[in-house]
Structure 1
Amino acid sequence: MTQAIDAGASLADLVAGGGVVVLSGAGLSTESGIPDYRGETGRRRRAEPMTYQAFVGGEAARRRYWARSHLGWRHIARAAPNDGHRAVAELQARGLVDGIITQNVDGLHQAAGAREVIELHGGLDRVLCLSCGERTPRDRLDRRLREANPGWDAQADMINPDGDAVLDDDQVESFRVVPCERCGGPLKPDVIFFGENVPPPRVRDCYALTERAGVLLVLGSSLTVMSGLRFVRRAAGAGIPVVIVNRGPTRGDDLARLNLDLPLGSALTGLVAALP
């Protein structure tokens, strides 16, 4: 306990200077009922998720994804911001946080009141047509899928951070997918799948924000994939202090000036309380 208190004081000292850029991952949303990918051990909880190549490669893969995601979206849409999200929004309102980069696709930073959040991997609340490029609200697609699948009453044993529910094959086979209303093309959630690249302009914006930071504060990310780790490496290489608050080890631990293994909600609430 003493170590945690001392570490918390160091965190407050670093954040009090302002210029903080937050890089958040799935661990920040676990207290909202959305599981992370790896847990405290760093070991993956599930098999590999849907890849971009599989999704665009065939109708069967898209049916499997949309059946599972249609059910999982109900869980994501009901999730509410937790103490960690609210603390980040409060730090931004106080002028201490200059920017937020999130690897999450759940929209909970914005729901807590945060502004100008860069969604590195996109957002589940939007849908993209792969043919004409039109973006539409997820709620609209949800209504269309409900109408196209009356009586579909599948139940999921588990919901994943990307809104993907685990379903039996027979539940998937009976599901009907709907096309783009404008052109009839295939629809995809406006998120970055595994095997798909983050748009270069978005990456450049994240690098620019990182390079202007006084502190890079990593929250709830194991930094296992390069998508987030590259910003930690960029900050550390530029001499910008990196602070990591996460349950369990991360791939960026050796680059951090301060590393806290603490529950995110209570740690960030305590941080806000410790600041003037």
Structure 2
Amino acid sequence: MNPQEELSIRMAHQSAIRSMQRVVAEQAPAHDPIQAAAAVQGLLEAGRVLVLTGAGVSTDSGIPDYRGPNGSLQRHRPMTYQEFKYRPEARHRYWARGFVGWRHMDSAQPNNIHRTLARWEDDGKISGIITQNVDGLHQQAGSRHVISVHGDLGIVRCLDCHASEERTALDARLEAANIGYLQQVDLDPTAVNPDGDVELPQYLVDKFVMVPCLNCGSYALKPDVVYFGENVPSERKRQIDLLEERSDSLLVLGSSLAVMSGYKILLNFVKRGLPVALITNGHVRGEQKATWRWREPLETALARLS
């Protein structure tokens, strides 16, 4: 690797760190909840609502968010794409910790919010869902038109040959290579991060045995998710553009839109002069641009809508 490439990697890594650390503060006051509820109900009755969801949608399923008061960023910095790709020891650490955390992620079940969105799709109220989550719970709840902008934690890809494997199949291979490993870990489910990562002492990381890609034998395996510092695949961007074109309004649920992949969607609807409604317990990047700001716990808010 030449000095210019090393500099580019370092700069991308630092940019990813800044994105993680972005704090979303209040930019505009919330609207009256009764008026906001009536406005969102009107959007749903008109149909063709695009729903954009973030980690707040899955917290009731036992998966923590990133930026909430008890979010995982308070105790844990996710690995950047640059660290994962260029530091084999960092990959090994991820897979040791991810092997433990996967059990909790794989057992998570859809909650009332996921089920409500699936029902709205069946009723023709929403055009589809763009989710920043990688847990697959929208699909499990029955939603059909879902674009997982940041990928799917249930798929693993090889960075060298690009072959893919189901996470459950890889997990079975890891269990066979690490007999008795899980029994040595006292897992606190509340400490599992949204990417399935958990903290482990270094001696357990050192004891972990990784398995190779079945296709090429490489150990450079990566969950099929977009890490901080990594670009969303161009084909996925195209699918998002098409879904935006088929939608007449935007409803953001449980996301701070701190990262550009989500914030850009809000900006696109504002540019088109279309209504944007936010339902969240916290603040949202660009919230001053939204037509409606409704601050209330998601399940409570959605229970007021039909």
Superposition TM-score tier, normalisation by shorter sequence: over 0.9
What pairs with 1:1-276 in structure 2 (closer than 5 Å)? 3-40=32-69, 44-152=73-181, 153-157=184-188, 158-185=191-218, 186-272=220-306
CA RMSD of aligned residues (A): 1.7
TM-score (normalised: structure 1): 0.93
How many residues get paired? 271
Q: Letter of the aligned partner of 2:158 in structure 1?
A: C
Q: CA deviation at 1:204?
A: 2.2
Q: CA deviation at 1:196?
A: 0.8
Q: Secondary structure at the match of 2:64?
A: coil
Q: Letter of the aligned partner of 1:234 in structure 2?
A: N
Runs of 4+ with deviation above 6 angstroms: none
Q: CA deviation at 1:142?
A: 0.7
Cα displacement string for residues 136-172 of structure 1 (whole angstroms, at most 9, x for unaligned residues): 1110011111111111122344111111112222221
Give 2:18's aligned residue: none
Q: CA deviation at 1:43?
A: 9.6
Q: CA deviation at 1:42?
A: 8.6
Q: CA deviation at 1:119?
A: 0.7
Cα displacement string for residues 31-72 of structure 1 (whole angstroms, at most 9, x for unaligned residues): 111000011599942342011111111221111000111111
- Do the aligned partners of 1:211 and 1:235 also contact (CA within 8 Å) in 2? no
Q: Tell me how far apart the structure 1 counterparts of residues 104 and 258 of structure 2 sit (CA, whole Å).
A: 25
Structure 2 stretches lacking a partner, 5+ long: 1-30
Q: Tell me how far apart the structure 2 counterparts of residues 37 and 210 of structure 1 sit (CA, whole Å).
A: 25
Q: Tell me how far apart the structure 2 counterparts of residues 11 and 86 of structure 1 sit (CA, whole Å).
A: 18
- Do the aligned partners of 1:215 and 1:242 also contact (CA within 8 Å) in 2? yes
Q: Secondary structure at the match of 1:271?
A: coil
TM-score (normalised: structure 2): 0.85
42 and 212 in structure 1: CA distance in 2 versus 1, 3 angstrom threshold: farther
- Do the aligned partners of 2:65 and 2:71 also contact (CA within 8 Å) in 1? no
- Do the aligned partners of 1:253 and 1:259 also contact (CA within 8 Å) in 2? yes
Cα displacement string for residues 209-232 of structure 1 (whole angstroms, at most 9, x for unaligned residues): 223311111111001111110010
Q: Secondary structure at the match of 2:305?
A: helix
Q: Tell me how far apart the structure 2 counterparts of residues 113 and 259 of structure 1 sit (CA, whole Å).
A: 28
Structure 1 stretches lacking a partner, 5+ long: none
